[in-house]
Amino acid sequence: MSSQVTSPTTVGVRIDQGRLRERLDALAEISPIPGGGSSRLALTDEDREGRDLVRSWMTDLGLDVTIDSVGNVFGTWKCADGAPVMTGSHIDTVRTGGRYDGNYGVLAGLEVIETLMASNLVPSRPLSVGVFTNEEGARFQPDMLGSLVYVGGLDLETALDTVSIDGARLGDELVRIGYAGPAPVPGLHPHAFVELHIEQGPILEAEGFTIGAVDGVQGISWQEVTIHGQSNHAGTTPMRLRHDPSFVAGAITVFLRDLAIRFGGNQVCTVGKIDLSPNLVNVVPAKATITLDVRNTDETILKRAESEIAAFLEKLANDEGVRIETRVLARFEPVIFDEAVVDLVEQLAIQHGHSVKRLPSGAGHDAQMLARVCPTAMIFVPSHLGISHNPAEHTDDQDLVHGANVLLDTMWHLANDSRIGAH
Ligand code: HGY
Ligand code: MN
Ligand code: MN
């Protein structure tokens, strides 16, 4: 286990706000959507364009750029020997993506390296910035797929054979966009990993904190539920004779909301995707396919939620005379980050004069996968009104700069203080 670092000090240099802003805006211009966000689903042509742009910035910085077999891209400043201190995140987005989710962590990582280089400050370890494939899990499931393969949590063949919601095979898409890289997976274990990300929730802003020292990630349970009923005429079929999947889908949606309210605390439930077939005004549907996103910071409670949902599906199937199939899309237990790295983030944020709050992440992140192989933590900055997965996602420039400067000092310490990090 790594030890505590007593009163770490700042290295004294600060990132270039204008350069970070410029890159965030340039990346956001790739497949822009109204409202200031972007839509770059994983391994689409838009994602490729974003990857190409970030890779060009890595090359311009003189970083050693590698691409692995699941398309993860790494830019490494090979200024020393040994395992690198790694940061990074993702640049794939959901369809209604904002300009900060993921992008900010990748570009702040480049900014940290460029600032240290410009200040002739050479760390005692290499510094690496990772761009992980399919973090969102919107097109291919599970989410955090690239970092999960990187740490050996999912074998490459299974990952490559994953089929997207639009019927494409992940391995074929990697080849098609030119990101089926040569570097083997699982990848090398970093000395330590720290990810900078917007909070995507309302807490830091509502409570007036500038920095979040993220101490973990809540558990995630994603299922696809397919409800097979009987298509019928909307006008002639009496209600008592119906086996209606759209009614069942609606009942499940209401049940999930009620469960979240009943459980309270951190419990959240979402039905984000509903597809009906044949999806016509005058046909009682034959089939409904919905997704369930259920999360909690407590694994025992999350398991209880899952079993209550399973029991409800069984009862519904009997009552409504439909057949219900379920498929797990993602299932990750809650993760606790490394105490010494969280502590370092917290102390450096205080050194920078910021108010800092420890909190778990409600969203999934690549850091939760890297935590399996090296000491890991995250840094949050506030999201305005907690809005995310929405083009209106916003974080003030000052907050973006504060987070990037805390990242800089955290990486500097992780690279130069042998008391902390992997042993
Ligand atoms: O779903 C999530 O939490 C993340 O955006 N992949
Ligand atoms: Mn993200
Ligand atoms: Mn996201």
Q: What is the pLDDT of residue 147?
A: 98
**In the predicted model, is pLDDT for residue 47 greater than 50?**
yes
Residues 6+ apart with CB under 8 A from 93: 37, 38, 39, 40, 41, 101, 102, 103, 136, 138
CATH number assigned to the domain comprising residue 256: 3.30.70.360
pLDDT tier, 2 (very low <50, low <70, confident <90, very high otherwise)? very low
Q: Do 39 and 113 reside in the same domain of the chain?
A: yes
* Distance, CA of 156 to CA of 145 (rounded, Å): 10
**In the predicted model, is pLDDT for residue 5 greater than 90?**
no
Q: Is 250 helix (H, G, I), strand (E, B) or coil?
A: helix
CATH number assigned to the domain comprising residue 404: 3.40.630.10
Q: How far apart are the first and last CA of the chain?
A: 8
User: Which two tokens mark 305?
Assistant: 């939620």
Q: Do 229 and 305 reside in the same domain of the chain?
A: yes
Q: Which residue has the tokens 């979240």?
A: 260
Ligand 1 probe mutation, 139, 143, 214, 296, most atoms within 8 A of CB: 143
pLDDT tens readout for residues 121-163: 999 999 999 999 999 999 999 999 999 999 999 999 999 999 9
Q: Do 353 and 338 reside in the same domain of the chain?
A: yes
Q: Measuring CA to CA, which residue among 56, 211, 217, 207 is closest to residue 147?
A: 217
pLDDT tens readout for residues 172-185: 999 999 999 999 99
Q: Do 231 and 241 reside in the same domain of the chain?
A: yes
Q: Do 302 and 154 reside in the same domain of the chain?
A: no
Ligand number, closest to the Cα atom of 378: 2
For 91-152, the DSSP string reads ----TTB-SSTTHHHHHHHHHHHHHHHHTT---SS-EEEEE-TT-S-SSSSSTTHHHHHHTT
Q: What is the mean pLDDT of the chain?
A: 97
Q: Tell me whether residue 376 is in a domain.
A: yes
Q: Tell me whether residue 322 is in a domain.
A: yes
Range of 114's domain?
A: 17-218+334-416
Q: Do 223 and 287 reside in the same domain of the chain?
A: yes
**In the predicted model, is pLDDT for residue 420 greater than 80?**
no
Q: Do 118 and 250 reside in the same domain of the chain?
A: no
State the DSSP H helix or E strand holding residue 379, giving kind and residue range, or none if neither.
strand 376-381
Q: Tell me whether residue 281 is in a domain.
A: yes
Q: Do 258 and 196 reside in the same domain of the chain?
A: no
Task: Compute, in angstroms, the gap from residue 356 CA to the centroid of ligand 3.
Answer: 23
Ion ligand 2: protein residues whose beta carbon lies under 5 Å:
101-102
Burial environment of residue 311 by CB neighbours within 10 A (0 to 12, 13 to 18, 19 or more)? exposed
Q: Do 279 and 398 reside in the same domain of the chain?
A: no
Q: Measuring CA to CA, which residue among 192, 195, 139 is closest to residue 167?
A: 139
With a 6 Å cutoff on the Cβ, whether 363 touches ligand 1 is: yes
Q: What is the pLDDT of residue 1?
A: 37
Q: What single DSSP character describes residue 119?
A: T
Q: Do 249 and 101 reside in the same domain of the chain?
A: no
Q: What is the mean pLDDT of residues 309-336?
A: 98
pLDDT tens readout for residues 343-360: 999 999 999 999 999 999
Q: Tell me whether residue 3 is in a domain.
A: no
> For the chain, how many structural domains are there in total?
2
Burial environment of residue 253 by CB neighbours within 10 A (0 to 12, 13 to 18, 19 or more)? middle
Residue nearest ligand 1's atom 6 by CA? 136
Of 279, 314, 332, the one marking the end of a domain is: 332
Q: Measuring CA to CA, which residue among 298, 212, 292 is closest to residue 257?
A: 292
Q: What is the pLDDT of residue 4?
A: 57
Q: Do 159 and 211 reside in the same domain of the chain?
A: yes
**In the predicted model, is pLDDT for residue 3 greater than 80?**
no
Q: What is the mean pLDDT of residues 197-222?
A: 98
Of 273, 303, 332, the one marking the end of a domain is: 332
Task: Compute, in angstroms, the gap from residue 200 CA to the centroid of ligand 1.
Answer: 10
Q: Do 180 and 326 reside in the same domain of the chain?
A: no
